[in-house]
Structures are given as structure tokens and as C-alpha cells.
Structure 1
């Protein structure tokens, strides 16, 4: 091997050692400014190849499970500010790259809306006739994650019709204790034998829950 060939070989080895071959899961994206294009699918240490762009590992957002943003303006949140981590982890985990954080979520955010139109139902959040139902179906929107009282529906039971197919509903940390007990209390083994049968809520012709005064 000639001196020139040896020099080229050593250079390529050195380049390979400083590169990181990365295999990111589909759906990953870079929330920051990329450093450069990837080199043969690789990037320098501390960077990952996302969409053929070298993204800082700190800016790589993985699409973890049910990880999501609950706010529409998470890009305006200072994810690393002192006193904001708990809020960011609970409400902007995807944007703030906290999908795989091992820290527990504060109980005041430990719940998930079960309906997609909760934002249109906020007038019912503090209505004494509907607050129990809102605590079950729209607790995050209504800030009812810590709700415990039950005034118009049973304290425990299978209020939800699909408890058997809700996967880890009973053990998920993103479901409030009230949702587990009232939503799928029987299936989760949280109800006593004398718990009254749950009230079945009405649905309209499209299958959506109908909230309204009689």
C-alpha cells in the first residue's frame, strides 16, 4: 500500500470513528436547526441523521407511544426553564422531547381527554349537572384531573362501553383515578360487589355522546 493510499485509508477510518450510524424510528423529527446533511447516513457524535439532516440528539423528538402535545402553542414554551419542566412534561412532551422522561407527571395533569371535542364543551366543566361526566370524558380540558366527588353518576362502575379493549387503561399514569374508578371500575377491579350499575349515557345518530339538559 502506497503512502498516499495509507493516508486516505487512515482518514476514512478516522471519519468513520467520529460518525454515528443512527437508526431512528419512523415519525422522528428534529425540532431545532440541523447542523448539515448526513454523510452516507451518518452524523458526528452527538447528532442523529433525521431526514438526511444531522440533528442534535437533544433536538430529536421520538414519536413515543401515546406521547403528545396537549397545547396548541407548545413552541412558545421554554421547556428547560426552572419551574416549567413539570408543566412541559405534562402538556408539551412531544415538542419538549420528554416522551421518554422517567419522571412522573404531576397529579394535576395525570389525566387524558377521552373525547375529541372537549374544547367545545368547556361551558359544562363547572356545571353541577355535568361536572362528573366532564371529569370522566374531558378532565384535562376542564382541569378536573384531581376530581373525586360523584354527584350524579355511580362512584364506581364501567361507565365506558369499551373497557375490555382499552389496553392499559387501568394502569396508565395518564388516566386519573376518577376516570379509572368510574370509567372502568369493574374491569379494573376497583368496585365492591354492591356498587350500583352505571348510568348509560345517550349517544346521537353519529355515535357521539350527547350532553344537554333534559
Structure 2
């Protein structure tokens, strides 16, 4: 049997992999095999010339996951449940790569894998700012804006330059972008700097504090 025929027979049973050029997608586990001329078996995706199990494909902005304990009863394709399903049961409902926007209360992602073990800190005044950055989905803090314990704009996350489309992802809250990677995302330059305080005198000769 010729080499060309052998290659043809191998590829005949291999499904073409999904788009391997999605920005910032990667495989969170070791692959089983290299891609076959850009293709992988059914149930695998070709990422970086490696066949990654679809269950281990990580989407931009964080791991594709279910946020509910049981998503099997969610009607994924029901028109009235689409937004809820996309936000809370993306893995079960096969919506990991959906580009549709979700409601603001769902527009954020947990950046840690142990957020479920940290729920006691969700409303702790000393930790709520950090929880809004690292565990906003678990803590229902997608709309959090205040910042009292950490700077309200900057690079709190150590790996901002390598976080793919973190700055533009709709699954990352504005607070996460500003506090987590505000400098990298170019969001801190718009923060106004208070004018310097100077001493002045009024008509009666009394000193008072004012702004230039």
C-alpha cells in the first residue's frame, strides 16, 4: 500500500478540526497527538498543531465552565433561556465560543479555580474589592465599581501582557479590566489627577485651602 493511500485512509476517518485561529485559545491538558495536516478526530480540536480534547479547550477570558451545580435541566435552546444558559451553563449547552453578549450581571469571569471555597469573603469589606477582581461571578459582583482597598486602576494581575483578549472580552467586567490590567488596557490615562492645593487669602485676610 502506497504512502499516499495510507495517508488518505487515515484522514478519511478524521473530522476537520474547528477553527484553530481563535485568539488566545489554548489546551489546559497535555494533548494525545499532533494534528493530522490540520485535522483532529471528532471530539478534539486542533490548537497549536496539537489535538486537544474539546473538554480541555480554554476560551479567551478564562475557562469555559458551568456556574450552576446542575445545568442538565436548563433548556439551552429555549429563546427565553439563551442569555441565562450562555452565562451560567456554557459548557453543558455547548456555548463556550458564543460571541453574543450577555446581560451586565453576567459579564465577568472568575479568574481563580477555588472561588467556591472563598464565598465567605464575597461581602467582607476588607476583601470585596479583591473578590470583585478574582471571583466576581461566584460573588455576583460583575457590576462592582467601587475600589477601597486596592488601586482603582492599574495592573493588579501579574500577567496582563499575556492574557490574550482580556482587555476586549465581553466576559470580563469593566472593573476587572481597570483594576486587573488597567495600564495594559489603556484605561488609566483617563483618570483625572486632582489639581494641586494652594493656600489663598480671602477679603478678610484669612487663609484657606483652594485649588489653582
Shorter-chain TM-score tier: 0.5 to 0.7
Q: Aligned residue for 1:163?
A: 160
Q: 2:77 aligned with 1:85, yes or no?
A: no
Q: Aligned residue for 1:131?
A: 128
Shift of 1:163: 1.1
Q: 2:138 aligned with 1:146, yes or no?
A: no
From 25, 43, 50, the counterpart of 2:17: 25
Q: After superposition, what is the alpha-carbon deviation per residue over 1:72-126, rounded to whole angstroms, capped at 9, x for unaligned?
A: 3111212133532111011112211223434212211111111111111101101
What TM-score comes out, normalization by structure 1 length? Answer: 0.59
Q: 1:192 to 1:91 in 2, by over 3 A?
A: same
CA distance in 2, matches of 1:134, 1:105: 21
For the aligned residues, what is the CA RMSD? 2.9
Q: 1:73 to 1:194 in 2, by over 3 A?
A: closer
Q: 2:173 aligned with 1:176, yes or no?
A: yes
CA distance in 2, matches of 1:194, 1:140: 26
What TM-score comes out, normalization by structure 2 length? Answer: 0.60
Gaps of 5+ in 1: 1-20, 27-48, 52-61, 197-214
CA distance in 2, matches of 1:172, 1:122: 25
Shift of 1:70: 2.6
CA distance in 1, matches of 2:191, 2:171: 28
Q: 1:193 to 1:78 in 2, by over 3 A?
A: closer
From 119, 132, 135, the counterpart of 1:122: 119
Q: 1:185 to 1:191 in 2, by over 3 A?
A: same
Gaps of 5+ in 2: 1-12, 19-40, 44-53, 194-212
CA distance in 1, matches of 2:185, 2:97: 26
Number of equivalenced pairs: 146
Shift of 1:22: 7.9
User: Contact conserved, 1:157 with 1:195, CA < 8 A, in 2?
Assistant: no
CA distance in 1, matches of 2:113, 2:129: 18
Shift of 1:191: 0.6
